[in-house]
Amino acid sequence: MQNYFYIKMSDEETGKISSLGLAHIGDAVYELMVRVRLCERGRFTSAGLHSAAVEYVNAPKQAELAKKILPFLTEEEKDVYRRGRNAKVGSVPRNASVSEYHAATGLEALMGYLYLRGRLDRLNELFEIMMEG
């Protein structure tokens, strides 16, 4: 039986997944990490948790956080980020510029890639850098 909470795909397996597929996974991973962080930091109502999460789970904020971690990425991670950033997307949300949306997609692709490769320590390390300050 597959353990979907701890995946460790090979480079070949993740190479078969499109950048937008990686971003799709990474979006969920990032949102889960944000939600856990908010819950461990204090008590919120359901509406309060949602409002707090929305502050982090949007393209402009994710683009800002992507800039924050870029200097810390390995060449391999930069490649994954660039592939995600350069992926052809169908539409851009009203609250984001095209460049913000592409940067957010790159960040999500990187997070999806790290998750699927089983690099949870690295995923947590980069998340902590994003959340500093």
Question: Domain for residue 106, yes or no?
Answer: yes
Examine the residue annotation and report whether 121 is marked as an active-site residue of this protein: no
Question: Domain for residue 4, yes or no?
Answer: no
pTM higher than the cut 0.75: yes
Question: Domain for residue 2, yes or no?
Answer: no
Containing structural domain, residue 52: 11-131
Residue 131's pLDDT is what?
95
DSSP assigned state of 117: T
Percentage of the chain exceeding pLDDT 90: 77
Q: Dihedrals φ, ψ of 6, to 5°?
A: -140, 95
Buried b (16+ CB within 10 A) or exposed e, 94-103: eebeeebbbb
Number of domains the chain is built from: 1
Question: Domain for residue 1, yes or no?
Answer: no
Tell me the two tokens of residue 50: 């949602």
| pLDDT classification of 48: cutoffs 50, 70, 90 | confident
84-96 pLDDT, tens digit per residue, is 999 998 888 888 9
Query: From CA 94, how far away is CA 31, in angstroms rounded?
Result: 20
Q: Does residue 1 register a pLDDT over 90?
A: no
Question: Domain for residue 110, yes or no?
Answer: yes
Residue 10's pLDDT is what?
95
